[in-house]
Amino acid sequence: MAVSGLPPYDEANIFARILRGEIPCKKVHEDAWALAFHDINPQAPVHVLVIPKGKYCSFADFSAAASEAEIAGFVRAVGTVAKQLGLEAPGYRLLANMGPESGQEVPHFHVHLFGGRPLGRMLPKPA
Ligand code: AMP
């Protein structure tokens, strides 16, 4: 689903392979719109990735090209996962990297869900 100026979706990316069941994940939630699983390299006591089932390479792609049903379903799934993980009362952080300067590594749109400890500053201080 290439949006003008963005690269085409890479069917071989690791999250596409997880969605196809070709490689395992530690699943925490799945519904018609989204899959959530534990990050393989957690940066907090809770570090879950939530990905849409559709083929969108980034937030830019998803926000521009996904249907309203896909967007609503995905956002609700993120909220459901956070609630199921018991993070509503203590709080949590959502993060989505988009493009080279963000450090996005996997070209399938995903939201990081962090929690389980005080999370500190939103961004590190510049060196
Ligand atoms: P980003 O830098 O926003 O693209 O984040 C990609 C995230 O995917 C990183 O936090 C990785 O640790 C995580 N990751 C990469 N491969 C896997 C995998 N097979 N299962 C779970 N998480 C993964």
Count of beta carbons in the 10 Å neighbourhood of residue 121: 6
pLDDT score recorded for residue 125: 83
Q: What SS3 state is found at 54?
A: coil
Choose one of 40, 46, 58 to mutate for the ligand 1 pocket test, by most ligand atoms within 8 angstroms of C-beta. 40
Distances (CA, A) of 122 to 4, 18, 38, 41, 63: 31, 29, 21, 19, 23
Domains of the chain: 25-115 (3.30.428.10)
Q: Digits of tens for pLDDT over the chain (127 positions)?
A: 456 777 899 999 999 999 999 999 999 999 999 999 999 999 999 999 999 999 999 999 999 999 999 999 999 999 999 999 999 999 999 999 999 999 999 999 999 999 999 999 888 888 8
Ligand 1: centre distance to CA 40 (Å):
6
CA gap 74, 54 in Å, rounded: 10
- CA dist 107 and 103 (Å) reads 11
Question: Residue 78's closest CA among 99, 64, 62?
Answer: 62
Provide long-range contacts, Cβ within 8 A and 24+ apart, for 4-8: 6/57, 6/58, 6/60, 6/61, 7/57, 7/107, 8/57
Residues with CB under 6 A from ligand 1: 14, 25, 39-41, 49, 97, 103-106
Sign of CA dihedral 30, 42, 9, 68: positive
**Closest Cα to atom 17 of ligand 1:** 40
Residue-wise pLDDT for 61-80, tens only, equals: 999 999 999 999 999 999 99
Q: Which amino acids are annotated catalytic?
A: 110
User: Ligand 1 centroid vs 68 CA: distance in angstroms?
Assistant: 26
Confidence (pLDDT) at 127? 80
Mutate to test the pocket of ligand 1, among 49, 111, 113 (most ligand atoms within 8 A of CB): 49
* Predicted TM-score of the model (pTM): 0.96
CA distance 49 to 46: 10
Beta strands of the chain (E only): which ranges? 27-30, 34-38, 46-52, 93-95, 111-115
